[in-house]
Structure 1
Amino acid sequence: MLAVLRLCLLPAVRLYLLGLRVLLSQLCGRPVRLSVMPRQDGRVAIVTGGGKGIGYEVVRHMARLGMHVIIVEFMKLDLASLQSVHQFVTNFKDRNLQLNILVNNAGVMLVPEGCTEDGFERHFGINYLGHFLLTWLLLDILKDSGKCGRVSRVVNVSSAAHRIGEIQLSDLNSRQHYSAHAAYCQSKLAQLLFSSHLHQELQNPGSPLTSCAVDPGMVDTALYRHLWTPIFWAQGAVARLLFRTPAEGATTVLHAALSPDLEGECGGGYWASGQRQITIPPTLDPQLQLDLWKTSLQLLGLQ
């Protein structure tokens, strides 16, 4: 009993301590500023979770630059349903639009234990598998759209929580000992492994598509509503005072999606606070990347 309790409590303690370090780093660091980005007229982007928070600020800035942005709340997509992802992609392709930028931004954090429509643990199913499938089904149009002019980009919005995540290939649905904190961290590490492996798969001379992962930092959004608020004050005045605003959180995402400096081979990697950063060794483990990639394809019934 004590061992099970420890397995459940330890991830929570590690996540809250990590959050405190991230918050102190944000408060002591320089504000992240977005440089002037070029016009995006004629280009098309999809932003999941684009109706609120960081996603909304990303959409708003892209639209101001002239980009045609598909906000997924308004073109129905439920990442907790594989059938919905398939239907969304079918509907999108029927519009005969190009696709230059895919921002995998939507996500959940510390939600109560439960399963998606297809039986996957919710953090793993929504944060990771749903976006994996969405990206996989859109790869052809992303590649085609990147062959003329600027390359296309996939931007995966992750979190510093990946640093304490562990991939359990034999228990990706966290069935043995459930911890919402561990499940969330695993899903964020999975995003980075996917992003890194996808980028490596795409890296050949003249590749029309790149993939990167982004950490927006601790941002005052509804994502934190399930945190233990006496510790992190994730709601209300203190969060507004100490956390980044959604617009500030969107800066690194926009930089990764739009900056001319990251064109082609300069893209990829892991970005936080407006700059490329070195992340934990497991993220760069090619065998772990490949094993998770193959397992994900099997879980999703893909070739």
Structure 2
Amino acid sequence: MLSAVRAQLLPIIRLYLLGLKVLLVQLFSTPFRLPVMPRQDGKVAIVTGGGRGIGYEVVLHMARLGAHVIIGGRDEQEGLAAIRRICEEYKEAKVEFKKLDLASLQSVRQFVQSFKERDLPLNILVNNAGVMLVPEGRTEDGYEQHFGVNYLGHFLLTWLLLDTLKDSGKCGHFSRVVSVSSSAHRIGEIRLNDLNSCQSYSAHAAYCHSKLAQLLFSSHLHQELQCGGFPLSSCAVDPGMVDTALYRHLWTPLRLALSAAAYLLFRAPAEGAATVLYAALSPALEGESGGGYWANGHREMTTPPTFDPQLQLSLWETSLQFVGLQ
């Protein structure tokens, strides 16, 4: 009984202590300011969860630079409202919404099939959508929600779009995959025999595990692309703690306390989007330099498991089995 209580409490304590550390760092540091980025005319980007928060700011900035941006999301009303706001500000914007539910592998396949039927290039894929601390539950395919939405849905989406991304890149103008992760990956674990968190469930632990899985996939993908000589790079980004709806499932007293001080402690969505945009658009990150883990405009070191080649490969192969590709 005592061990079960400890297993529940430890991830909560570790995540909130990490969150406190991140907030203190943010309070005493200057947010990264995105430099002027080159025009993106003729380029096509897909941004998951682009209807609000960080994703919306990414879509807005790319549209301003002339990119054709497709918002992939499950809330059509939210997506269409985002498009209206963007077009009111920038009438020439090329922005559209397409249904994409990352909790359904079938929805991911339908989204990709619909996209490929249009024979468009794909220069940028931003894996941004996610859930945090949601109640215990399963996706349509039976996977734990954090693992299924944050990681596995994006894994399948990226895999199915890889050929288009490769074909769209060229020397000096690589295509890019940018996965929005979190500092929470630092306290995550990859338990290959329990990726669905069945043995002892904790929403806090499951969220951290899913973010570490994202990082392992991003790193392994970049290495595979380098070895193959493809004009495509992959990186992960930590946007920091940003004032978005992601935190709505926090413990209520803590959520209320944070919302009261959000303007002081949290970054604005546009600030959170700055490093994501830098990773997706900056000429300085062309080619091999486009990989790695980025936070507040800089490449950062991350935890040792992220660099474990056997763990990367094992997760990769297990994920392929989960989505029916091996």
Give the TM bin, normalised by the shorter chain: over 0.9
Counterpart residue number, 2:5: 5
What SS class does the counterpart of residue 30 from structure 2 fall into?
coil
CA shift for structure 1 position 230: 2.5
Question: 143, 155, 158: which one pairs with 2:166?
Answer: 143
Deviation digits for residues 116-175 of structure 1 (CA, Å, limit 9, x no counterpart): 000000000000000000000000000000036511000000000000001110000000
Q: Is 1:51 matched with 2:51? A: yes
What SS class does the counterpart of residue 75 from structure 1 fall into?
strand
What SS class does the counterpart of residue 316 from structure 2 fall into?
helix
Q: Is 1:14 matched with 2:11? A: no
Counterpart residue number, 1:33: 33
What SS class does the counterpart of residue 204 from structure 1 fall into?
helix
Aligned residues: 303
Counterpart residue number, 1:264: 287
Retained in 2: the 8 A contact 1:155–1:213?
yes
CA shift for structure 1 position 293: 0.5
Counterpart residue number, 1:221: 244
Q: How does 1:1-303 map to 2 (within 5 A)?
A: 1-73=1-73, 74-147=97-170, 150-204=173-227, 206-231=229-254, 233=256, 236-303=259-326
CA distance in 2, matches of 1:283, 1:50: 27
CA distance in 1, matches of 2:223, 2:241: 28
TM-score by structure 1 length?
0.98
Retained in 2: the 8 A contact 1:79–1:130?
yes
TM-score by structure 2 length?
0.91
User: What letter corresponds to residue 38 of structure 1 in structure 2?
Assistant: P
Moved more, 73-82 or 197-206: 197-206
What SS class does the counterpart of residue 142 from structure 2 fall into?
coil
User: What letter corresponds to residue 158 of structure 1 in structure 2?
Assistant: S
Unaligned runs of 5+ in 1: none
285 and 234 in structure 1: CA distance in 2 versus 1, 3 angstrom threshold: farther
CA distance in 2, matches of 1:242, 1:235: 8
CA shift for structure 1 position 206: 4.6
CA distance in 1, matches of 2:58, 2:18: 26
Retained in 1: the 8 A contact 2:169–2:175?
yes
Retained in 1: the 8 A contact 2:248–2:255?
no
CA distance in 1, matches of 2:228, 2:106: 35
CA distance in 2, matches of 1:172, 1:210: 26
CA shift for structure 1 position 96: 1.0
What SS class does the counterpart of residue 32 from structure 2 fall into?
coil
CA shift for structure 1 position 249: 0.2
Deviation digits for residues 84-137 of structure 1 (CA, Å, limit 9, x no counterpart): 000000000011110000000000000000000000000000000000000000
CA shift for structure 1 position 265: 1.2
Retained in 1: the 8 A contact 2:178–2:236?
yes
CA shift for structure 1 position 269: 0.1
Unaligned runs of 5+ in 2: 74-96
What SS class does the counterpart of residue 215 from structure 2 fall into?
helix
CA distance in 2, matches of 1:148, 1:19: 40
Retained in 2: the 8 A contact 1:165–1:186?
yes
CA shift for structure 1 position 241: 2.7
User: What letter corresponds to residue 144 of structure 2 in structure 1?
Assistant: E
Retained in 2: the 8 A contact 1:104–1:155?
yes
User: What letter corresponds to residue 68 of structure 1 in structure 2?
Assistant: H
CA shift for structure 1 position 234: 6.5
Retained in 2: the 8 A contact 1:41–1:66?
yes
User: What letter corresponds to residue 227 of structure 1 in structure 2?
Assistant: L
CA distance in 1, matches of 2:246, 2:98: 21
User: What letter corresponds to residue 70 of structure 2 in structure 1?
Assistant: I
CA distance in 2, matches of 1:30, 1:148: 34
CA RMSD of aligned residues (A): 1.2
CA distance in 2, matches of 1:244, 1:195: 24
